[in-house]
Chain A
Amino acid sequence: MATPKATIIPTMIACLRKIKEALTVVGKKVSTVVNTILLGVIYIFVVGPLAIAARLMKKRFIQTEKKSETYWVKTDVGNKPVNRYYRQY
């Protein structure tokens, strides 16, 4: 016959796991809402002013238009010093 300890502890562990799963689901939803609000604020108050200032100064971050005989851009990828490859940029 199983002792009370042998049945109670696994049951408690199973219950705690279910609570943890439920809290994880709730936590993910909360983090989505918080992330959305925070990132929205960053987008409007950080990215926005930078973007507007750049437009006023006629700075282009992406070349969408170009008048040129060729659209190839020279590059020298490959054959770099080894220490270049330790960098993530």
Chain B
Amino acid sequence: MSETSPSIATTGSTKKLIAVQRRTRNLPRNPAHKLPHNLPQKQPHMLAHMTNHQQVTAKPMYILGISCYYHDASAALLKDGQVVAAAQEERFTRKKHDSSFPQHAILWCLQSQGITPGDLSRVAFYEKPFTKFERVLYQHLHSFPKSIKTFVTSLPSWLTEKLRVMKSIRKLGYKGDVFFLEHHLSHAASAFLVSPFKKAAIVTVDGVGEWTTTTIGKGTDSVIELFKEIDFPHSIGLLYSTITAYLGFSVNNSEYKVMGLAPYGDMNRRTNLFYRKLKSVIDVKSDGSYLLDMSYFTFHYGDRMPSNVLCELLEGPVRLPEADLTSRHKDIAAAVQLVTEDVMTQILKHAHDITKCDDVVLGGGVALNSVYNGKILSNTPFKKVWIHPDPGDGGTSIGAAMYVWNCILKHKRSFVLSHASLGPGYSTEEIKAYLDGHHIHYSTFSKSDELVKQIAMLIFKGSVVGWFQGRMEWGPRALGNRSILSNPQNPRMQEILNLKVKHREKFRPFAPVVCLEDASTYFDCNEPIPEITDFMLMVYPIKEKWRKKIPAVTHVDGSGRLQTIQRFQNPLYYDLIKEFGRLAKIPILINTSFNIRGEPIVCSPHDAYRCMMGTGIDCLVMDKFLIRRDENPNDMWDSEQIAKD
């Protein structure tokens, strides 16, 4: 199968990138990139004071946000303060967590609006490269001679690309202003400036930015102030990553596996021996500040994160990938989850004390810990919480661009990120052209009712369905546009999906999707249900009486990382869940990301078809087309050999 991507240049050369831009300058905007038509429109108010003539002739202001070079490169485009396009680079290059300069994502963002780099008003970069380089050099000076290996392997990339961000941006053909924001400021902006709060406490926690690993601040209207920080090497994110590495998983990729493994261990603080041991590794003050005992870590000078001292403390060597997970490993996973929750609770309580805000926004990679997120409102004085759908480094491209619009250019806030459908979409004609061009057997639904009824029945009867609709989601979660859907009532479905479809570890749980109005029937949620359940960022207990009825989405501790959906957000998806509920009596589906293990979530029709044909997915629904795996035997292949992190 040859890969064609009608909208995107796939060459690496930036000269070709500019040539493609010149050719596509006059292309009409692709109607597939429109938002769903029944989504409430949030109109910018900044043109309200102008005359009609001025409104007609006023040129929109485009701001491009970029993040790259560490993990999860991405680009985001604002038009007059509204996010109109955003995507991670990995989805185009098909390299998971691709960190290279996001030229494909940038090109797509520009093409989606029919503009060129010359039409951009400002560009924002998510961190200060020279400050970060200063920290790296200081690490080497501090750690001499132990850091020689990392010095020799990491310095070339600094000299050839990380310190030459301006050159990469100018190569796009953009000649205007470029803003460089602090890393944690970009996190804070991505969390606060697109939230529904006018005033909120801001807490950002990640591995490390330039020097900062944790911050507390406050946001009021368009003003963000960060008051306090904790600096490298003391980092709760790096503690979690170190234990992730110790347990044999890949860092910056598999922390969520440790989170999923934790409930299999001893989650009792009194009886978990490793909890007490890990508490000795970190000194936490009553104000939430903390200090790591660096004798247990090597990340400040080496490429291996846990030190031999930590291995002795945890009573064993680093686990080899794919080796068996013992009860000791599970208890260690539980211990690091408990320690992280303790520290985060202290930090949040202190943030509440100093900001006096009832609302809080979280940013940074640690905000992906959805098990802890589900406990924030019950464990801290905050009344409301909001988290960006991509709180990690990928989301900082939106944060950087929004900071320029709201805080530097001083525009009033007028945008709330109420949905994550910000990536590429494909029209019916484009999908049909792909299917016909590749001689794929498919059938067509004439009405959406017919599609919903038939697919709901297929899922009810045990089929695994690939669901490809609308615009690709922004962030690491599939939220109903690039999803694999199946029946959670089938007790074997978790095993089928893990082994035959996703080719991943058996212990990994699956997430449920439920209509918002039904959520409190099946889950013990906070009331009112936080909006961020739309982005699958909270884990809640499933009510006791339903656990045995939906075993495939009930984790070993009875919890589920639910996604809630309202009809205006995604009518077809919503109707499918309701129709399934009519058949199965419980309106909950399994929603897992549409990808092979080790690959990014699918982006294009080709990616989706390829994924289906290489796994145990029974059929694929793309727009109004149904493609069955067994009707296309010539395109079958086995993805198990390439499935790895």
Interface residues of A (CB under 8 A from B): 35-36, 39-40, 43-44, 47-48, 50-52, 54, 60-66, 69-79, 82, 85-89
**Interface contact B152-A85, CB-CB below 8 Å:** no
Measured between beta carbons, the chain A residues less than 8 angstroms from B289 are: 70-72
Closest to B183 in A: A77
Say whether, besides A70-B285, A86-B177, A88-B166, A78 and B225 are in contact (CB < 8 Å): yes
Measured between beta carbons, the chain B residues less than 8 angstroms from A36 are: 152
Closest to B155 in A: A39
Cα distance, A89 to B135, chains bound together (Å): 11
Say whether, besides A47-B151, A62-B300, A78-B188, A73 and B408 are in contact (CB < 8 Å): no
Cα distance, A62 to B147, chains bound together (Å): 14
Cα distance, A70 to B216, chains bound together (Å): 14
Cα distance, A77 to B233, chains bound together (Å): 19
Say whether, besides A71-B230, A71-B291, A60 and B142 are in contact (CB < 8 Å): yes
Cα distance, A72 to B290, chains bound together (Å): 8
18 residue pairs of the A-B complex, CB under 8 angstroms, read A36-B152, A39-B155, A39-B156, A47-B144, A48-B144, A48-B145, A51-B141, A61-B141, A62-B138, A72-B229, A73-B229, A75-B212, A75-B215, A75-B229, A78-B225, A85-B179, A85-B181, A89-B134
Cα distance, A75 to B209, chains bound together (Å): 14
- Tell me the dominant secondary structure on chain A's binding face: mixed
Closest to B284 in A: A71
Cα distance, A51 to B145, chains bound together (Å): 9
Asked whether any CB of chain A lies closer than 8 Å to the CB of B130, the reply is: yes
State which residues 230-286 of B face A: CB under 8 Å: 230-234, 283, 285
Measured between beta carbons, the chain A residues less than 8 angstroms from B300 are: 62, 64
Say whether, besides A35-B152, A50-B141, A78-B188, A85 and B228 are in contact (CB < 8 Å): no
Interface residues of B (CB under 8 A from A): 128-131, 134, 138-142, 144-145, 148, 151-152, 155-156, 165-166, 177-182, 184-185, 188, 212, 215-217, 223-234, 283, 285, 287, 289-291, 294, 300, 404, 407-408
Measured between beta carbons, the chain A residues less than 8 angstroms from B287 are: 70, 72
Cα distance, A3 to B79, chains bound together (Å): 54
- Tell me the dominant secondary structure on chain B's binding face: mixed
Measured between beta carbons, the chain B residues less than 8 angstroms from A72 are: 216, 228-230, 287, 289
Cα distance, A78 to B188, chains bound together (Å): 10
Measured between beta carbons, the chain B residues less than 8 angstroms from A69 are: 285
Q: Nearest chain A CB to B593's CB is how many angstroms away?
A: 34
Cα distance, A50 to B151, chains bound together (Å): 15
Partner of B215, one of A77, A79, A85, A87: A77
Measured between beta carbons, the chain A residues less than 8 angstroms from B233 are: 62, 64
- Candidate in A47, A66, A69 with the most chain B CB atoms within 10 angstroms: A47
Cα distance, A79 to B406, chains bound together (Å): 12
**Interface contact A75-B228, CB-CB below 8 Å:** yes
Cα distance, A63 to B211, chains bound together (Å): 11
Say whether, besides A71-B289, A73-B230, A88-B165, A82 and B408 are in contact (CB < 8 Å): yes
Measured between beta carbons, the chain B residues less than 8 angstroms from A44 are: 145, 148
Q: Nearest chain B CB to A70's CB is how many angstroms away?
A: 5
Shortest beta-carbon contacts, A-B, top 8: A51-B144, A71-B289, A89-B130, A61-B138, A72-B228, A61-B142, A77-B226, A85-B179
Measured between beta carbons, the chain A residues less than 8 angstroms from B228 are: 72-75
**Interface contact B185-A77, CB-CB below 8 Å:** yes
Measured between beta carbons, the chain A residues less than 8 angstroms from B216 are: 72
**Interface contact A89-B131, CB-CB below 8 Å:** yes
Cα distance, A22 to B155, chains bound together (Å): 25
Partner of A87, one of B128, B226, B294: B128
**Interface contact B227-A75, CB-CB below 8 Å:** yes
**Interface contact B407-A78, CB-CB below 8 Å:** yes
Measured between beta carbons, the chain B residues less than 8 angstroms from A50 are: 141
Measured between beta carbons, the chain A residues less than 8 angstroms from B139 are: 61-62
Cα distance, A36 to B217, chains bound together (Å): 43
Q: Nearest chain A CB to B180's CB is how many angstroms away?
A: 5
Measured between beta carbons, the chain B residues less than 8 angstroms from A65 are: 291, 294
**Interface contact B130-A52, CB-CB below 8 Å:** no
- Candidate in A51, A61, A74 with the most chain B CB atoms within 10 angstroms: A61
Partner of A88, one of B129, B142, B225, B407: B129
